[in-house]
Structures are given as structure tokens and as C-alpha cells.
């Protein structure tokens, strides 16, 4: 059996503190290595961290101009100009706030999604591989768009979204029917290959997924549980998301 490595878990009082701890974590790594290569998520969870990074940049305390960014995932068929695309999201919520010239995104309009995934892997490899993957977590334990059941050795490629994920993401679209059913996501092996991984979670609705991911068995039913095997894995979760974890120290 593979060794399960103890995870560093930091429990923040709330969303704001989670966000500033996450921003400091990222800024610290960028200070050590200005040309850091990062995978970054879309969604509600990282918005506060992106704002904090924007604040650091405005105050002259952060320079991201030499770092490289890869979006974790993108909806199949949606391009950068589509309002529902993750690229649009990241432009509005991150790129606008900092000095990041470009963010890589899977070519989700390329007709062959398997090939688009393979090319994305090549882009990551030619950037030198991921130094850091920042992740949110779905209520079903997904990371990126790796839904329950996705193999731990999966690489970037097409994925089908579960009804749960589709309805969670409906808020970014005018009607539920507009939410894409497919995406291109970095695979679980791709994420695990990052030299360091930071998982963020906020709020009681994430508590079950967080407990299963961090303290449950390592199983493909809970994709995030694969991170327990990562040698440099940190989770920063707020008290709501941590409410079903027991025996972990408060903020370290």
C-alpha cells in the first residue's frame, strides 16, 4: 500500500482569513521563485485570495510579471469571449487586479478534446512543470473538474460534468440549459505532479467533502483524497469547511 503523508491543515476563522493566508502562501512562493509556474482555479472560493493578491500588487509588494499561470479547467466549446467561460472569469477576477500578462487555458474549442488536453500537458511541461497547484473543492470532492470515479492516473483531457456540478455552476449562466455538460480539465496525475499543492475551502457546505478528502480513505470516489499522497500538500480551510474535521490544530 502507498504511504499516506500527513497533510498540513491550516484552519482559518472565516473566508477573509482563509483568503489572506492563501494570498500570503502564494506571495511567499513567488518571492522565493519569481518565475513560479502555477495552476489556478475559477469559482467562488479563490476570489478573495485574488483580491488580496491584487492589494499586494497595488502596494508594490508583489510582482507576478515573471510567473506563469495555467487555468485548471475550461468548459468545452466556450472561448475567451464567452461570458460563462473560465477564461472570462479569471480575466475579471484576477488578471485585471495584478500584473499578469497572460493565463494559459485549454483550447476548449479545438474539435478533438483529447488532443487539446495533450497539447495543454505539453505547454505545462515546456513551462518547466507546475510549481504550485491552487485548488478549490466541489461538494462532491472534485478538484479541477475531476468528478468522482476519475482515475488517479488521469491526465488533462475531456470530462463530463455531474448534474451536481452543472447546477452548482448555473449561477454563471442566464439559464441552466446554457451550462456546458463537458469540460477540459487537468487530470489528477497532472495536479499531483505539481511540486506543491494548496487546497482552499470555505463554508459548511464544503465540510463533508473536506473531511472525506483530508481524513477519509484515499479513493477515486473522493477525487481530492488523492492529495493525501502528495509530499507537499497544504489545505487552508475556514472553520465552516473544517467543522467535520476533528483532532486538527487551529491556525498554525
What number of chain residues touch ligand F6R (CB under 6 A)?
A: 15
- 34, 27 in Cβ contact below 8 A? no
CA neighbours within 13 Å on the CB side: how many for 31? Answer: 12
44 lies in the binding site for ligand F6R (CB under 6 A): yes
Among 106, 117, 144, 157, the residue binding ligand F6R under the rule CB under 6 A is: 144
At residue 191, what are phi and psi to the nearest 5 degrees? -65, -45
41 lies in the binding site for ligand F6R (CB under 6 A): yes
73 lies in the binding site for ligand F6R (CB under 6 A): yes
Residues 158-187 that bind ligand F6R (CB under 6 A): none
Of 45 and 226, nearer to ligand F6R (C-beta) is 45
> For the chain, what is the radius of gyration of the CA atoms?
17
Among 48, 54, 106, 138, the residue binding ligand F6R under the rule CB under 6 A is: 138
Does the active-site annotation cover 169?
no
43 lies in the binding site for ligand F6R (CB under 6 A): yes
Give the x/- contact pattern for ligand F6R in 10-29, rule: CB under 6 A.
--------------------
30 lies in the binding site for ligand F6R (CB under 6 A): no
- 223, 191 in Cβ contact below 8 A? no
142 lies in the binding site for ligand F6R (CB under 6 A): yes
Does the active-site annotation cover 142?
yes
CB of 78 to ligand F6R, least distance (A): 13
143 lies in the binding site for ligand F6R (CB under 6 A): yes
What residues have CB less than 8 Å from 200, skipping those under 6 apart? 18, 22, 45, 46, 49, 134, 135, 136, 137, 235, 236, 237
Does the active-site annotation cover 147?
yes
CB of 47 to ligand F6R, least distance (A): 8
- Nearest residue to 145 via CA among 101, 102, 111, 113: 113
Q: What is the side-by-side strand order in the sheet with 182-185?
A: 73-75, 182-185, 157-160
Among 42, 93, 154, 239, the residue binding ligand F6R under the rule CB under 6 A is: 42
CA neighbours within 13 Å on the CB side: how many for 144? Answer: 34
Q: Buried (b) or exposed (e) across 191-227, using 16+ Cβ within 10 A?
A: bbbbbbbbbbbbbeebbbbbbbbbbbebebebbbbbb
Of the candidate spans 77-85, 141-149, 150-158, 243-251, the one that interacts with ligand F6R by CB under 6 A turns out to be 141-149
In which residue are the cell numbers 475567451 written? 80
Residues with a catalytic annotation lie at 73, 140, 142, 147
Residues that bind ligand F6R (CB under 6 A): 41-45, 72-73, 86, 136-138, 142-145
Amino acid at each position: 500500500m502507498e504511504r499516506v503523508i500527513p497533510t498540513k491543515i491550516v484552519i482559518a476563522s472565516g473566508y477573509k482569513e482563509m483568503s489572506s493566508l492563501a494570498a500570503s502562501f502564494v506571495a511567499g512562493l513567488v518571492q522565493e521563485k519569481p518565475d513560479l509556474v502555477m495552476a489556478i482555479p475559477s469559482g467562488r472560493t479563490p476570489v478573495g485570495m485574488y483580491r488580496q493578491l491584487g492589494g499586494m500588487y497595488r502596494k508594490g509588494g508583489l510582482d507576478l510579471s515573471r510567473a506563469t499561470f495555467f487555468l485548471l479547467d475550461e468548459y468545452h466549446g466556450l472561448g475567451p469571449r464567452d461570458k460563462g467561460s473560465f477564461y472570462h472569469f479569471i480575466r475579471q477576477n484576477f488578471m485585471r487586479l495584478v500584473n499578469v500578462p497572460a493565463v494559459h487555458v485549454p483550447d476548449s474549442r479545438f474539435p478533438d478534446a483529447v488532443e487539446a488536453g495533450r497539447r495543454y500537458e505539453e505547454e505545462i511541461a515546456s513551462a518547466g512543470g507546475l510549481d504550485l497547484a491552487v485548488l478549490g473543492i466541489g461538494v462532491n470532492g472534485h478538484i479541477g473538474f475531476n468528478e468522482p470515479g476519475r482515475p488517479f492516473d488521469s491526465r488533462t483531457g475531456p470530462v463530463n460534468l455531474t448534474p451536481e456540478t452543472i447546477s452548482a455552476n448555473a449561477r454563471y449562466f442566464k439559464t441552466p440549459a446554457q451550462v456546458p455538460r463537458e469540460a477540459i480539465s487537468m487530470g489528477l496525475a497532472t495536479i499531483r505532479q505539481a511540486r506543491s499543492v494548496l487546497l482552499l475551502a470555505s463554508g459548511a457546505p464544503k465540510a463533508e467533502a473536506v473531511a472525506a478528502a483530508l481524513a477519509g480513505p484515499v479513493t477515486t470516489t473522493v477525487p481530492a483524497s488523492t492529495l493525501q499522497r502528495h509530499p507537499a500538500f497544504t489545505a487552508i480551510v475556514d472553520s465552516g469547511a473544517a467543522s467535520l474535521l476533528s483532532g486538527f490544530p487551529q491556525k498554525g
